[in-house]
């Protein structure tokens, strides 16, 4: 049976995405509005709360569909919501090819929170040493993102114990 994102799960994701009713450049040149909606957004555009919710409901659908199509074990609602949050954030390809999904699909539910904790890197480290780290294959050369770290910890807690922060 296909699952749907719960209202608590939607609010959980929205708290991480944040709400902006006026279009803004997301820092990469992509115009964004609402809860991270992109695509048809114009500079200076404003929307209502109702439109932001409508965009979110349409935007989250692919992540719900991907979790439903990819997870082969039974999930409790909190587990499903946590995986939709993760998938919405990292993208379809990353979720489909993740070790997290492979372990979950063999029934290793306990591995999910630690696997979520591996997805905390963004951007590149700066400086001479970081170049050496990448050259010597000693690490990713990426910076730990405190925002992603906090999100993954909360997704892990939601998956494990049903705590919607």
- CATH class of residue range 7-161: mainly alpha
pTM of the model: 0.86
User: Domain extents for the chain?
Assistant: 7-161
Q: Annotated catalytic sites, by residue?
A: 17
Beta strands in 10-153 (DSSP E): 20-25, 31-34, 121-124, 142-144
Mark the ranges of the chain whose per-residue pLDDT is less than 70. Answer: 123-141
- CA-based nearest residue to 77, from 152, 146, 1, 21: 1
- Would you state the pLDDT for residue 164? 92
């Amino acid at each position: 049976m296909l699952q749907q994102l719960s209202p608590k799960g939607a609010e959980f994701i929205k708290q991480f995405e944040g709400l902006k009713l006026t279009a803004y450049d997301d820092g990469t040149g992509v115009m964004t509005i609402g809860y991270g909606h992109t695509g048809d957004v114009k500079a200076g555009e404003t929307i209502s709360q109702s439109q932001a919710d409508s965009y979110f409901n349409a935007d989250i659908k692919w992540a719900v569909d991907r979790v439903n199509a990819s997870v082969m074990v039974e999930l409790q609602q909190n587990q499903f919501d946590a995986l939709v949050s993760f998938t919405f954030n990292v993208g379809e390809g990353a979720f489909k090819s993740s070790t997290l999904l492979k372990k979950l699909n063999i029934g290793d539910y306990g591995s999910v929170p630690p696997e979520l904790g591996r997805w905390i890197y963004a951007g590149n480290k700066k400086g001479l040493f970081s170049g050496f780290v990448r050259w010597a294959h000693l690490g990713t050369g990426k910076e730990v993102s405190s925002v992603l770290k906090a999100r993954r910890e909360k997704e892990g807690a939601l998956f494990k114990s049903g705590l919607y922060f």
